[in-house]
Amino acid sequence: MIRIGIYDEDKAACQRTWQCVMEIKKNPDIMVSQIDMQSLVLAMEESMFDFHILILEVISSEVDVLQVVSWINEKFPDCRIIYLTDQSDYVSRVYETEHCYFVWKREMEQVMPLALYKALKWIELEGVQYLQVICDRRHVEIPISQILYIERSQHRCRIVTFRDEYESYLSLKYLISQLPKYFVRCHTGYLVNGKFIERLSGKGMVLGRVGEKRVQLPIGRSYSDGVKEVYRRYSGK
């Protein structure tokens, strides 16, 4: 399922954009929703962000949209951004961020199909990355971007995402070979998504929130340098 989110402070304009996108999309596996900026920022803070494409009005009285996009570029680089506006003041600033299209509202019906085609083509070429595992005798595809950490216990690996947990008979060595380089071994029994390390603390680390609690994991002495390197790279600290 490909998720497209549309943000515009002007409710009528947001509805118009939604209607335009709904008329363009042909694939039933594409879900289009109107979003508010507060909920989007909260999803990012809670690491519950799961959009593949965002169509965003640049101007907002709620928040600096370009600053939010910079954050998305850093933490969720697979998300394709389409800017939409009728104001020229921000044209030069949008190029400070990674985006795939800039659409003038007055040309939306003509240009939006091209913008969506480009974004969806990128997803088709790059693929939405999944980790494929066997869980309870079923083949399961887990979105890699949603994996918080993986814990090895006895002969099983517990794969923890922000919404679900999965257990499978896999080794951490095998999983490391299947996952991007921002996953790092932090302990004999743990593999962590470096993008979600919020801070390092003593001999451990604090990750994003699962439910009502923030996750704390240990850092083994022999893995400390690798964890610090990944943390610096993806936290900017």
159-175: per-residue pLDDT in tens? 998 778 899 888 888 88
Contact 193, 182 (CB under 8 A): yes
Euclidean distance between CA atoms 179 and 28, whole angstroms: 29
- Widest Cα–Cα separation across the chain: 60
Query: pLDDT of 24-39, one tens digit each?
Result: 887 777 899 999 988 8
pLDDT grade, residue 209 (50/70/90)?
A: low
Which pLDDT belongs to residue 196? 86
Helix (H) or strand (E) holding 197: strand 197-201
**CB proximity list for 44: less than 8 A, separation 6 or greater:** 68, 71, 72, 75, 76
Contact 57, 10 (CB under 8 A): yes
Sign for the pseudo-dihedral over CA of 20, 59, 55, 107: positive
Contact 211, 199 (CB under 8 A): no
Q: Could you tell me the pTM of the whole model?
A: 0.59
Give percent of the chain with pLDDT exceeding 90.
33
**47: its two tokens:** 């690491």
| Triad 4, 81, 34: Cα angle to 5° | 35
Query: pLDDT of 52-74, one tens digit each?
Result: 899 999 888 878 899 999 988 87
Average pLDDT estimate for 198-204: 84
The 3-state secondary structure of 15-84 reads HHHHHHHHHHCCCCCEEEEECCHHHHHHHHHCCCCCCCEEEEECCCCCCCHHHHHHHHHHHCCCCEEEEE
- Whether the per-residue pLDDT at 128 is higher than 70: the answer is no
Burial classification of residue 41, based on how many CB atoms lie within 10 Å of its CB (0-12 exposed, 13-18 middle, 19 or more buried) = middle
The residue count for the chain: 237
Which pLDDT belongs to residue 18? 94
